[in-house]
Amino acid sequence: MSKIKLLLDVVSDMRSLADSIQAVADAMASNEPVEAKEPTTTVKEPELKKKEITLEEVRAKLAEKSQVGLTAQVREIIQKYGGSKLSEVDPKHYADILKDAEVLGNE
Lowest mean pLDDT among 13-17, 38-42, 51-55, 97-101: 38-42
pLDDT in tens, 67-85: 989 899 999 999 999 888 8
pLDDT of residue 28: 82
Indicate whether this model's pTM tops 0.85: no
pLDDT in tens, 52-61: 888 889 999 9
Q: What HEC string does the chain produce?
A: CCHHHHHHHHHHHHHHHHHHHHHHHHHHHHCCCCCCCCCCCCCCCCCCCCCCCCHHHHHHHHHHHHHCCCHHHHHHHHHHCCCCCHHHCCHHHHHHHHHHHHHCCCC
